[in-house]
């Protein structure tokens, strides 16, 4: 993987330089500079517009209680596309614009999701929840006293669920000591 990254960081600038030299020969020096500036300005405007649109869709999905997988993938693609458009060059601009156009972004997202799913199924990609290598269980939390009914649901073992009470997973209530009754959410 490190070899591929090194190759990418060595090849990309060389290809970009060769393309810029060819464009300079074809349209001239100042036109090439103008092209770089215009693609940066237009690209940043498109990235902002598409990013805000995706952010609004993500918030709507979260408020509805849905998982925003499509919106998160779009957000990653838009972020990378914006970074590519800021980078001066022809190849990076073309790839960046492809990530910002909704029609091509949909196709890129499908390829990205398929790649991600294949890597997870093969076991060559691990997904860890938590910060800085912390807990991989979304149910592990502080072990203080139980919260009020409006707060996180807590099992006898001290694990918590920080979602809405009506969305508490069934397995949270089953985690605990043998023979102990699950906590009641009606009190």
Rounded to two decimals, the pTM is 0.61
Residue 133: inside a domain: no
The verdict on 62 and 145 lying in the same domain is: no
**Do 19 and 108 share a structural domain?**
yes
| pLDDT (tens place) for every residue of the chain, 187 residues total | 778 888 888 888 889 999 999 999 999 999 999 998 898 899 889 899 999 999 999 899 888 888 888 888 899 999 999 988 888 888 999 999 999 998 999 999 999 889 888 888 888 876 665 555 554 444 444 444 444 455 554 545 555 555 555 555 554 444 444 444 455 554 4
Domain of residue 65 covers 12-122
CB atoms within 10 A of CB 71: 20
d(C-alpha 83, C-alpha 102), whole Å:
17
User: Same domain for 89 and 166?
Assistant: no
DSSP assigned state of 182: P
Q: What is the CA radius of gyration of the chain?
A: 24
Residue 88 φ/ψ region, left for φ over 0, alpha for ψ in the -120 to 50 degree band, beta for the rest? beta
Q: Same domain for 69 and 19?
A: yes
Nearest residue to 92 via CA among 27, 35, 177, 159: 35
Residue 42: partners with Cβ closer than 8 Å, 6 or more residues away? none
Q: Are residues 20 and 69 both part of a single domain?
A: yes
Question: Is there a single domain that holds both residue 80 and residue 165?
Answer: no
pLDDT digits (tens, 9 = 90+) for 30-76: 999 999 889 889 988 989 999 999 999 989 988 888 888 888 889 99
- Are residues 34 and 82 both part of a single domain? yes
* Residue 104 within a domain: yes
Strand partners, 153: 161
């Amino acid at each position: 993987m490190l070899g591929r990254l090194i190759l990418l960081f060595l090849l990309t600038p060389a290809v970009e330089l060769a393309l810029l030299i060819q464009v300079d020969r074809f349209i001239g020096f100042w036109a090439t500079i103008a092209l770089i500036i215009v693609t940066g300005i237009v690209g940043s405007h498109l990235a902002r517009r598409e990013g805000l649109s995706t952010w609004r869709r993500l918030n709507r999905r979260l408020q509805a209680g849905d998982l925003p997988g499509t919106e998160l993938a779009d957000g990653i693609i838009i972020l990378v596309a914006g970074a590519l458009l800021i980078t001066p060059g022809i190849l990076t601009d073309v790839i960046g614009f492809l990530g910002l156009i909704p029609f091509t972004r949909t196709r890129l997202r499908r390829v990205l999701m398929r790649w991600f799913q294949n890597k997870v199924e093969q076991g060559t990609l691990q997904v860890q929840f938590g910060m800085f290598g912390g807990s991989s269980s979304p149910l592990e939390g502080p072990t203080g006293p139980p919260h009020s009914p409006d707060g996180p649901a807590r099992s006898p073992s001290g694990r918590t669920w920080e979602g809405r009470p009506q969305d508490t997973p069934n397995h949270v209530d089953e985690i605990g000591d043998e023979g102990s009754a699950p906590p009641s959410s009606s009190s």
